[in-house]
């Protein structure tokens, strides 16, 4: 693509083909341009992809839409200054694709009084377009047995980029733990949908023993092991 108008036309065609919004396609395209920069940066072994962006890559953007990216950071300090340095370096990586990234803001993510990570706001610029992006960054997450090398397929190129990512069993474990521990208080319908679509499209790739171990590790990390033992009654109520 030579300019923003040409990119918009390509994005519009994809949105019609997949029957999803052009804004969603553009957002994901810019996120993957950022992800490719991460994949070749010195932080590629610190950055572990997870969440909706990864699930969408596994099941298809037309099946599971998302507007942001989630990751957990390992073997790198997670505080405002260290995250700022990381993303300043990543944003200044040039892939000669005429897209530039500008780090706008970093703020803490809190659930009530509990600190859960940082939200990184970035502007993806392809003049005259400026597309706002958000990344949620956590640390200390349990990936069981370990993070995998995932081949992320690019939207507009016949190419994969290699990134560290959650394995399928840990994705499922976090979703199941969330559903059971929150019980009938869970307003996150996407958790239910993600479990459904992953079971439907990725069932043959799930290793039961790994899933059991991942669920055990996740519940221990989140302090919900006792709650999960009562999963049958909780699911019945839900």
Across the range 226-237, mean pLDDT stands at: 54
Above pLDDT 90, what percent of the chain? Answer: 79
Across the range 170-192, mean pLDDT stands at: 82
Of 159, 171, 234, the closest CA to residue 201 belongs to 171
- 161 with 152: CB under 8 angstroms? yes
- 144 with 78: CB under 8 angstroms? no
Across the range 7-33, mean pLDDT stands at: 96
pLDDT number for residue 216: 92
Distance CA 37, CA 73 (A): 16
Our CA dihedral for 23, 24, 27, 33, rounded to 10 degrees, sits at -120
- 156 with 29: CB under 8 angstroms? yes
Across the range 215-238, mean pLDDT stands at: 69
pLDDT number for residue 65: 85
| 3-state SS assignment for residue 230 | coil
pLDDT per residue over 29-58, tens digit each?
999 999 999 999 999 999 999 999 999 999
pLDDT per residue over 132-143, tens digit each?
999 999 998 989
pLDDT number for residue 228: 65
Query: Among 16-20, 180-184, 196-200, 233-237, which stretch is predicted with the lowest mean pLDDT?
Result: 233-237
State yes or no: pLDDT of 176 exceeds 80: yes
- Both tokens of 182, joined, read 């929150």
Angle of CA points 120, 122, 126, to nearest 5°: 165
pLDDT number for residue 28: 97
User: How many whole angstroms from its chain centre is CA 86?
Assistant: 17
Of 57, 67, 58, 68, the closest CA to residue 21 belongs to 67
Distance CA 146, CA 33 (A): 25
Distance CA 57, CA 61 (A): 7
Above pLDDT 70, what percent of the chain? Answer: 90
pLDDT number for residue 185: 61
- Ordered domains of the chain (ranges, CATH): 1-166 (3.30.460), 167-225 (no CATH)
Across the range 168-181, mean pLDDT stands at: 92
Catalogue the E-assigned strands of 65-147. 69-73, 100-111, 114-126, 129-139
pLDDT per residue over 208-222, tens digit each?
999 999 999 999 888
The model's pTM: 0.91
- 124 with 133: CB under 8 angstroms? yes
Distance CA 83, CA 178 (A): 27
Start-to-end CA distance of the chain, whole Å, equals: 49
């Amino acid at each position: 693509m030579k300019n923003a108008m040409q990119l918009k036309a390509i994005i519009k065609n994809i949105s019609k083909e997949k029957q999803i919004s052009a804004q969603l396609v553009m957002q994901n395209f810019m996120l993957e341009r950022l992800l490719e920069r991460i994949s070749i940066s010195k932080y590629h072994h610190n950055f572990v992809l997870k969440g909706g962006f990864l699930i969408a890559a596994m099941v298809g953007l037309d099946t599971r839409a998302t507007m942001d990216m989630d990751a957990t950071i390992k073997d790198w300090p997670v505080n405002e200054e260290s995250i700022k340095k990381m993303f300043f370096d990543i944003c200044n990586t040039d892939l000669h694709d005429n897209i530039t990234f500008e780090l706008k803001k970093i703020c803490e993510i809190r659930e009530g009084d509990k600190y859960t990570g940082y939200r990184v706001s970035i502007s993806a610029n392809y003049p005259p377009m400026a597309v706002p992006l958000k990344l949620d960054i956590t640390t200390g997450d349990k990936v069981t047995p370990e993070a995998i090398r995932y081949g992320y397929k690019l939207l507009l190129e016949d190419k994969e980029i290699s990134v560290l990512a959650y394995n399928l069993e840990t994705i499922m474990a976090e979703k199941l733990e969330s559903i059971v521990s929150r019980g009938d208080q869970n307003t996150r319908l996407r958790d239910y949908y993600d479990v459904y679509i992953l079971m439907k499209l990725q069932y043959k790739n799930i290793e039961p023993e790994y899933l059991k171990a991942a669920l055990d590790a996740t519940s221990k990390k989140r302090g919900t092991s006792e709650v999960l033992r009562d999963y049958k009654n909780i699911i019945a109520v839900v």
